Each structure stands twice: as C-alpha cells, then as structure tokens.
C-alpha cells in the first residue's frame, strides 16, 4: 500500500489530501450491498455511452474525474481508443470553445498579467509543489486550429496532462495544468458576460516578455523538479519562447517539437512503404508543406533529420522541402519573410508567385503532401488526384486539428487514390474497407510523443530538452510498430499500446540525454536497456 494525493474541493477551491492507495474499503453500510468495483467500470462505461453528444461525454468524464479520479483513469487506460477522442482531440476543441459556459469547478492554475510582479506568490497556492513533475502551459492564443481562445484554452492543458497519466503512468498529483491570461483578441469572448478571463486585449510583446521571464523563473523556484511543456502559443511566440528559455530550463514546445517528432516517426514508416511501391530509393522524397506556422515549420525542421540520418548534408536535406503559406510557394524573390520561414525559403525559383496548390504540385512534383494549414478541404479531389498521378503510393498527411479543420478526410483520400494513399491525420478518422481490404488511417498527433518524451525527461531529470532527445523520441515511436501493424501498412502503432510505446520512447530519450550529459539521474547510466524499460514500467502509476 502506498499514499497518494487525491484532489477534493472545499469552498469552491481545489485541495489535495493524502490517501492510502488503494483506498481502505468503505465502512459497512456506506455502499450498496452488491457494489462490485470490477462491475462498476461497466456501469461507468454504460453511462458514458448513453450520452448522444461527444461534448456531453466530455462533461460526464470531467465530472467522473472529480468524483472518482481512479475510475476515470481506469476507463482511460482500459478503453484508450474510445476515451482519447473524448478527453482530447477532437472533443477538447469544443470543450475549449465552451469552457466559460460549461465551467463548474476549478482545475489547474490561472495566472494573469495582473499577477505580474507577484507570480511567485500565485504559484505557491499549488499544493505540494515538490511533487510537481510536468506542467502544460498555454496562453490560449492559438488553441488547436481554433485561434485565440484566451482562458478558454485551459482544457487543452488539462487534456494533455490526462494523457500523461493514462499514456505514460505519470502520477495525477504530479501534473500542473496552467493557463496564462495575457488578455485575448477574441472580441466575441470579450463581449460575453460569461467569459472567465480578463476583459482586455492581449498585451504588447515587451510586456509579455517581461511576464514570461518572471513566470519561468518563479516556476523553477516553486517547482524545482518540473518539466514544462509549452502548448498552443501563437506561432511567433511559440518559436520565440522556445529559443528564449530552452537552454535555461527543462522545457519543450509540443506544437513545434512534439508534432515535429510524431510526423517524423510516421514519415519514416510512410517513406518505407512508398519506396517499396515505387522502387525508388528511400530518400527520393520531395515534401510539400501546406501551412507554414509553428507546426508546419516545426515539422519541416524535424523532417530534415530524416534525410541527415540517411546520409544527406544539412543543405541537401533542406532542399527536399518546400513550404506553402497563405500567399503560395515560399521563395526568396517573393519579398520579406517572417524569421521562421526563411530557413526553408527556396532560392531556386524566381518567377511570379505560384499561389494555387494544384500549380505548386505540378511544379514541385512532391512525393508527400503535409497539411498544417487549418484550411478544411484544401486537399480536394484535383489536388489528391494530382498527388496520385505523380506517385504510385502518395503520402498525404492532413494534420490540422480538430477534425472539421482537416485538409481532407480519410474516406475521400482513399476514394480519390483508389486505396493507394499512405495517410495520417491529426485528428482521428474511422477505418474502412476498400475493395475487400481493411484500411486503417494513421493519427499523426503529438499525443504519441509527449507522454514518452516527458517521461524520459522527467525520469532522467534533464537540465534541458535537446534536439537529439526529440529526434530519439521520434525514432522510438517509428520503431515501435509490431509485425502485425507493419503487415497492415500502418505508419503508427495502435494507441491501445500507448504505455509500452511511451516506455520505449522514454528509454530512447534517456539514452540521448545521457549521451549529451544533460541527465541528472546518473544512476540510470549503469542500467541496461532492459533494466530501464522494466524500471519505467514498474514505476508507472496505475489506477487500482
């Protein structure tokens, strides 16, 4: 028997209390005579399934988490592929949009620009800060593909952290969801009397920088063992704060690095399938990115490592990549470009702007088309057919979230390529049958990466998260497919195995951290791979 911290509420405030784990049986008379915990999970599942709308299911699960944390995670772990889309993408998108309307109880920390100068004292209201290991921090400025949602971004931090618990066995009381309120430019919310954030526009970059400097410093003081995951900051801030803080504190940006790693993993497997069909070398890839925000450029950077791992120079790797933004193909002669696009801007084209995606495909002749644009249906029939014309097995990854912003659906991509597409999307699509074949879409969502990357970083107590740790997480994921999954042409493993996958990713991350000397748990250096895997699996928190 061990002791865990269980959240409870008093006077509208969340507190934590110490409880034996598993709990002592209730005294006689306090529960129904035939109550059987093993059957109770079926009751909870039936209650969940009786709700018609996904948002109702989300609300039910949130309340279950309040009332019976253990049962909530028991359901998550036992029914991962059913529950994940409800507590996370895509339903969490609606939960964010409706957060101020559906709000019931406090969960997580809100820190606002009004706290500037005393952020430390606000952080101290968190109970047991020494137990904190992982925080997901958002400023709500670019939630999924839904734009600036202000403090309504909190559910994204909560949802990601639930996956840390369910998918990597992090203890629930080690997780700290944080939403920063730096104002919002969402006028609809500012006008809404129920909106739960400050009634002001976003602050200037300078004020935000000062706030973020104080916030990150105070976080490191209050939570000495914490890893920070930045989530859904607007593109410029995502890049700026990653580079501002990454050498000072243990942190990563999920949208740049997590998404980059998950797509690299899927791409490694997709490239092998496409090479098999075309007979051309594995590295004969030309990758077109539709969307050049934090996710698009983050993924592009990560994918260059696919080529450098296969013997290309950095320059050669960069030449395999083309970016498209709202003004079409990104190239030097087009005019001044934002900083984050410059690295991939083409210098081998100087004609008039090419703006239509179809024309760009004809010019580039890509083997892979990756969508990170949040423009629904941008990969329409002519676009997908053009990809199929150039490739026996085109790689098409519409990665925008949530599902209604996806650049195309799985069913359309299958139909328009006669089943030849190698497909992964950001949000889940159902599998289908085509000409008697079972076709299963991949889900190229960072949920495969961050639990394992975080677990490895936490267990080895890194001083910082390096590029090679992120790359190692991707390769760990890519190699985690079983033979059966490879036979089904999958590019990602089944999410039901997420805990095994997270352990394998964490092992790779730990080894990469050791190689670079950024690990502080140096005891792990003496252990074999098998011993580390066993250690990780044994230490994972389990609902009883």
Ligand X SMILES: O=C([O-])CC(=O)C(=O)O
Bridge-based pairing of strands 328-329 and 368-371 is: unpaired
Active site residue 341: no
* Cα–Cα distance for residue pair 302/487, rounded to 1 Å: 26
Judged on CB neighbours under 10 Å (0-12, 13-18, 19+), 544 is exposed
- Confirm or reject binding of residue 445 to ligand X (CB under 6 A): yes
ω into residue 311 within 30 of 0, thus cis?
no
Q: Count the Cβ atoms, other than its own, within 10 Å of residue 390.
A: 14
Please state at what angle helix 154-168 crosses helix 498-516, rounded to 10 degrees: 90
Under DSSP, the state recorded for 100 is H
Torsion angle of C-alpha atoms 446, 450, 451, 452, degrees rounded to 10: 110
Phi, psi at residue 399, to the nearest 5°? -100, 0
Question: Would you call 88 a catalytic residue per the annotation?
Answer: yes
**Rounded least distance, CB 2 to ligand X, Å:** 32
Among residue numbers 73 through 132, which ones bind ligand X (CB under 6 A)?
Answer: 89
Stretch that binds Mg ion, among 252-260, 269-277, 282-290, 511-519 (CB under 5 A): 252-260
Give the nearer residue to ligand X in terms of CB position, either 405 or 439. 405
Residue 94: which of ligand X, Mg ion, none does it interact with, CB under 5 to 8 A by kind? Answer: none
Tokens of 476: 């760990």
**Tokens 């690295």 belong to which residue?**
343
Site for ligand X contains 401 (CB under 6 A)? yes
On whether 192 is known to bind a ligand per the annotation, the reply is: no
Q: Which two tokens stand for residue 6?
A: 């269980």
Count of residues touching ligand X (by CB under 6 A): 9
Residue 345 interacting with ligand X (CB under 6 A): no
Please report whether residue 407 would count as binding ligand X according to CB under 6 A: no
Residue 401 is assigned to a ligand binding site:
yes
Which of these is catalytic: 88, 164, 241, 331?
Answer: 88
Residue 62 or 446 having the CB closest to ligand X: 446
Binding mask 175-214 for ligand X (x = CB under 6 A): ----------------------------------------
Q: Indicate whether 148 belongs to the interface with Mg ion (CB under 5 A).
A: no
At 239, list the tokens.
Answer: 């890049």
Does 142 count as an annotated binding residue? yes
Q: Spell out the alpha helix ranges (H) of 68-117.
A: 69-78, 80-87, 91-97, 99-102
Please tell me the total number of residues recorded for the chain in this structure.
Answer: 544
How far apart are the C-alpha atoms of 56 and 58, rounded to whole Å? 5
The rounded distance, in Å, linking the Cα atoms of 381 and 401 is: 20
Which residue lies nearest ligand X, judged by its C-beta? 89
Binding status of residue 255 toward Mg ion by CB under 5 A: yes
**Residue 262 beta carbon to ligand X: minimum distance, rounded to whole angstroms:** 9
Please identify, using beta-carbon distances, which residue of 255 and 519 lies nearer to Mg ion. 255
CB of 446 to ligand X, least distance (A): 5
How many CA atoms, within 13 angstroms, populate the side-chain half-sphere of residue 453?
33
Residue in 57, 65, 74, 160 annotated catalytic: 160
Annotation: binding site for (S)-malate: 142, 401, 445
The residues that touch ligand X, with contacts defined as CB under 6 A, are 89, 144, 232, 254-255, 401, 426, 445-446
The residues that touch Mg ion, with contacts defined as CB under 5 A, are 232, 255
Annotation: binding site for a divalent metal cation: 231-232, 255
The catalytic residue positions are: 88, 160
Annotation: binding site: 142, 231-232, 255, 401, 445
């Amino acid at each position: 028997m061990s002791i865990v911290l269980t959240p409870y509420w008093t006077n509208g405030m969340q507190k934590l209390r110490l409880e034996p784990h598993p709990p002592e049986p209730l005294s006689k008379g306090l529960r129904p005579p035939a109550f059987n915990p093993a059957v109770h999970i079926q009751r909870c599942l039936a209650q969940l399934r009786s709700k018609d709308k996904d948002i109702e299911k989300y609300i039910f699960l949130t309340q279950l988490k309040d009332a019976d944390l253990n049962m909530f995670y028991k359901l998550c772990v036992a029914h991962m592929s059913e529950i994940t889309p409800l507590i996370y993408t895509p339903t969490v998108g609606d939960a964010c949009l409706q957060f101020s309307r559906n709000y019931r109880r406090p969960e997580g920390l809100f820190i606002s620009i009004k706290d500037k100068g005393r952020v430390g004292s606000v952080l101290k209201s968190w109970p047991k800060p020494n137990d904190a290991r992982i925080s997901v921090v958002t400023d709500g400025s670019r939630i999924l593909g839904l734009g600036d949602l202000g403090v309504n971004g909190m559910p994204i931090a909560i949802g990601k952290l639930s996956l840390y618990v369910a998918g990597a066995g992090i203890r629930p009381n080690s997780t700290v969801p944080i939403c920063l309120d730096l104002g919002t430019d969402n006028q609809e919310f500012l006008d809404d009397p129920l909106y739960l954030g400050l009634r002001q526009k976003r602050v200037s970059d300078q004020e935000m920088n000062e706030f973020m400097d104080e916030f990150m410093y105070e976080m490191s003081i209050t939570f000495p063992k914490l890893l920070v995951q930045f989530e859904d900051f607007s593109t410029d801030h995502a890049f700026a704060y990653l580079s501002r803080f990454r050498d000072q504190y243990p942190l990563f940006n999920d949208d740049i690095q997590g998404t980059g790693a998950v797509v690299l993993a899927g791409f490694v497997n997709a490239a092998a399938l496409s090479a098999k069909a075309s007979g051309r070398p594995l590295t004969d890839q030309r990758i077109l990115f539709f969307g050049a925000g934090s996710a698009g450029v983050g993924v592009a950077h990560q994918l260059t490592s696919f080529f450098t791992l296969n013997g290309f120079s950095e320059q050669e790797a960069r030449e395999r990549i083309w970016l498209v933004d709202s003004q079409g193909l990104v190239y030097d002669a087009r005019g001044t470009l934002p900083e984050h696009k410059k690295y991939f801007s083409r210098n081998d084209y100087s004609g008039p702007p090419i703006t239509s995606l179809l024309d760009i495909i004809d010019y580039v002749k890509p083997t892979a088309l990756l969508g990170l644009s949040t423009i629904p249906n941008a990969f329409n029939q002519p676009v997908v057919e053009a990809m199929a014309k150039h490739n026996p097995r085109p790689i098409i990854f519409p990665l925008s979230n949530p599902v209604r912003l996806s650049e195309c659906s799985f069913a359309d991509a299958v139909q328009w390529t006669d089943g030849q597409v190698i497909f992964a999307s950001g949000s889940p699509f159902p599998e289908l049958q085509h000409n008697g074949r079972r076709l299963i879409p991949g889900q190229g969502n960072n949920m495969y990466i961050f639990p394992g990357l975080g677990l490895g970083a936490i267990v080895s107590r890194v001083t910082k998260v390096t590029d090679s740790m992120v790359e190692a997480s991707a390769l760990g994921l890519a190699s985690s497919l079983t033979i059966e999954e490879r036979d089904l042409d999958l590019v990602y493993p089944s999410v039901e195995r997420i805990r095994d996958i997270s352990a394998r990713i964490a092992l790779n991350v730990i080894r990469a951290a050791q190689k670079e000397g950024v690990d502080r748990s140096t005891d792990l250096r003496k252990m074999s791979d098998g011993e580390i895997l066993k250690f990780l699996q044994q230490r994972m928190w389990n609902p009883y």
